[in-house]
Amino acid sequence: MEKLAIEGGKPVRSSPMPPRIMFDENEKKAVMNIIEKSMTGNQALDRYGGIEVDSYEKEFAEFFEMKYATAVSSGTAAIHSALASLNPEPTSEVITSPITDPGAVMPIIFQQCIPVFCDIDYDTLNPSPESLKERITEKTKAIIVVHLAGIPSRIDEICKIAKEHNIFVIEDCAQAHCSKYKGKYVGSFGTLSAFSLMSGKHTTSGGQGGMVLTDDEDLYWNAKRFADRGKPFNSIEPTNLCIGLNYRMTEIEAAIGRQQLKKNLKIAEKRKEIYINLVEFFKKELTAFRILEADENSEPDPWFLFVNVRKDRLNTNNQLLAQVLQAEGIPVAQKYVVPIYQQKWFTEKNTFGKSKLPWSLSDARDIEYEHCCPIAEKALDDHMTLSIHEYYETQEIYDIVEAFKKVEKFFLK
């Protein structure tokens, strides 16, 4: 049996995976152009001093065939602005997945709403429409639907349920910039959608950024006002209309984002090709590992891949597997996250001082969170994550498969 790298054997891959180079001369020129203009006094770097943010919003909305876009400073700000645009009453409930980024849940708390978690589909780790339906109450205002790792949720079923119950759908497309469901981009199904444009995502507006999309004009103005301290946009009022924050995107960020948007399709195409190849090779060559696949309605734009581990077929655990695969030169992690409701900030209700708001509000429904999503807990224990990006070529795919084969052979029962 071939010696594992972790025990001093030769690693399958000894060179690092290729770097992800996101920018070229186009982004450089776009940024320099703005700096040069501002050096002549012709442009400020704030969005009101130029045309970049306005143009980026227009182009982003056009790409997704949506009417309105609001550019903001992060994905968290996008979720927050989308939710705030609905102006929910305190203690309204917002259903979401426990497998997501805290940035998709903390805005619920800031709006003094109560998060409710629905369980997930084991095969995608995305919110399950069936579980979600069970968790709707008369207090439910909205559902935040994540498309995890770029694999679409069953968004049409979720939108149908939401419509029947008069609930708003916010799509969280932070990890799915160019994924399609039934031929249509995710981000164009819900009442609103939110994107993260931080630098690790498929495309970026520089270091951080976000975008809110909607076809609803009123909600568009609400989101735009919220993202700029309640400014009276589209109003004859002379003073600010409501509370909000300053979540504005800057001109430099938007100039980068506009160049990146042009690369969206190409990046998606390459990532999809890598994902399809890996899915096929894993099926052909491995029995204890499987790459999670989207259903036949979906065209994913993968952000990373979930690898299902058949623990019953292996004499080891995911922690050791991850260490062994990393030593073979493969970028895996033992586990994606722990469910939101098991994270310290959540279990201890560390919100505003000692108040435990919003749960301490008298109208808040008492919700039992402990083990409220058993499938999510099991799915997180059963899956490792594998990083990929558009610079992976045949060699990288080959090395990943060879490393998994070597490790499987070693631990197979």
Ligand X SMILES: Cc1ncc(COP(=O)(O)O)c(C=O)c1O
Active site members: 201
Question: How is 139-158 classified by DSSP, letter by letter?
Answer: TEEEEEEE-GGGPPP-HHHH
Q: Least Å distance between CB 103 and ligand X?
A: 3
Residue 270 to residues 124, 161, 178, 198, 267, Cα–Cα distance (Å): 21, 34, 12, 20, 5
* Interface mask toward ligand X for 28-67; x: CB under 6 A: ----------------------------------------
Q: Least Å distance between CB 105 and ligand X?
A: 9
Closer to ligand X by Cβ: residue 198 or 357: 198
* Interface mask toward ligand X for 210-229; x: CB under 6 A: x-------------------
**Measured between alpha carbons, how far apart are the two ends of the chain, in Å?**
14
Closer to ligand X by Cβ: residue 11 or 102: 102
Check residue 4 for interaction with ligand X (CB under 6 A).
Answer: no
Give the strand order in the sheet containing 383-387: 289-291, 304-309, 383-387, 332-333
Closer to ligand X by Cβ: residue 159 or 211: 211
Closer to ligand X by Cβ: residue 180 or 201: 201
Helix (H, G, I), strand (E, B) or coil at 322: helix
Closer to ligand X by Cβ: residue 75 or 187: 75
CA dihedral sign of residues 281, 287, 290, 296? positive
Closer to ligand X by Cβ: residue 13 or 180: 180
Check residue 172 for interaction with ligand X (CB under 6 A).
Answer: yes
Q: Least Å distance between CB 96 and ligand X?
A: 10
CA dihedral sign of residues 238, 241, 244, 250? negative
Q: What is the bridge-based pairing of β-strands 114-117 and 93-96?
A: parallel
* Interface mask toward ligand X for 63-102; x: CB under 6 A: -----------xxx--x--------------------xx-
**Residue from 45, 198, 338, 361 binding ligand X (CB under 6 A):** 198
The residues, any chain, with a CB within 8 Å of residue 402's CB and separated by 6 or more, are: 12
Instruction: Give the CB-nearest residue to ligand X.
Output: 75
Check residue 361 for interaction with ligand X (CB under 6 A).
Answer: no
- The CB density around residue 351, as the number of other CB atoms within 10 Å, is 18
How many binding residues for ligand X (CB under 6 A)?
A: 15
**Residue from 104, 109, 252, 274 binding ligand X (CB under 6 A):** 104
Give the strand order in the sheet containing 140-146: 68-72, 210-214, 192-196, 168-172, 140-146, 93-96, 114-117
* Interface mask toward ligand X for 275-314; x: CB under 6 A: ----------------------------------------
Structure tokens at 277: 């190849």
Mark the segment that binds ligand X (CB under 6 A) among 131-139, 171-179, 246-254, 304-312: 171-179
Q: Least Å distance between CB 390 and ligand X?
A: 18
- Separation of alpha carbons 404 and 402, rounded Å: 6
Check residue 103 for interaction with ligand X (CB under 6 A).
Answer: yes
Alpha-helix residue ranges (DSSP H) falling in 230-348: 251-261, 264-285, 318-327, 344-347
Q: Least Å distance between CB 286 and ligand X?
A: 28
Check residue 175 for interaction with ligand X (CB under 6 A).
Answer: yes
CA nearest to 341, candidates 308, 374, 386 = 374
Q: Are 87 and 244 in contact (CB under 8 A)?
A: no
- Separation of alpha carbons 202 and 174, rounded Å: 9
- The CB density around residue 263, as the number of other CB atoms within 10 Å, is 17
Q: Least Å distance between CB 200 and ligand X?
A: 7
Helix (H, G, I), strand (E, B) or coil at 133: helix
Site for ligand X in 130-169 (CB under 6 A): 146
Closer to ligand X by Cβ: residue 86 or 186: 186
Binding site for ligand X (CB under 6 A): 74-76, 79, 100-101, 103-104, 146, 172, 174-175, 196, 198, 210
